[in-house]
Structure 1
């Protein structure tokens, strides 16, 4: 029997029933891994009860109040926290949308990986407390328009594809990674003419049907597909 891979996984907080928490659960449930979770905040009542079966280590508290205070408090906590025994793990995973990566300043590991949780918030794992509203909005939606300049990922286009709706986006930043031009959406230049031409193109019923079919078949956002890619990434990192 192969030895399990020992993982230390840091996530700033576990407090809801969202995509981040659901994905962490899938990692914990995977028989390939022996995973310990480290966090600053764990609310058993508001998140999935399945977490109770696993080793969740609360390594500090965030006491600051207000948006700025919480952000500053989190940053200082990330800089000052030291996870004991980190060298005993095969790999150190930091679940982060940016600032949480600061915990690696004092916590060095030769196999450190950032698990960007921005797309995990939405890709087939909608937050329960607004899922009904999203279901209603996207059921009446024809397509989405995403015009943010140099966005790193973008929640809305991922939501749209998860609901099987094509996306019109500027050809910049993160959306270029998952919007396939003419297949599940349209990538356009950030100017009025390109955007208006895209609006006209998508009104063609045959072309629209093609985009909808492409959006519905964006399998890379499926939870099982994500975990398959995750396992392959872990194997690749450990063999380097």
Structure 2
């Protein structure tokens, strides 16, 4: 794990771009105090992130310098206000999970790691989360869950570390892709709901999130 929060955010964005979860849009943030967080700027090059492409924002969504945050900065601010224990937020536009939300099709749990993010709530509007009202509605939809899917738009994950948020975003996308491709061959053999708690207990561990992070970070070099 990087020592400096600025580099941790840059690493997170690099990982998510290469995993197909962020593209030329999308963002990752990390809380640095009770009332402020760091986030990549709206103009940042997600494929070549450097610390100078970050800005400081307060939990009301107000930039604390000259650099302009992304249009959806309120998405992050609303989560930090609603969840004082939340330390990290990622928002991207993954292909496979978004395909399911476009058709209101439930995503079956077909890989063990997906038990950690099974049956995420779906925010039923596809518009940009660029206003306070929309952001608060989305945060209310997510509640205390680790993430929320945005119908026809993307995904959001909010956890205590960026390593966990990034790992959950990757798990969700891998599971959705496997479920989609399996459906082309027949009925996917989903993991039974009664078995989810056992997988959750086994897989909800910082060391495993770090393992996922380290693999994808190394893969991009």
TM bucket (normalised to shorter chain) is under 0.3
Structure ID, larger Rg = 1
Asked which structure has the greater RCO (Cα within 8 Å, sep 6+), the reply is: 2
TM-score when scaled to structure 2? 0.27
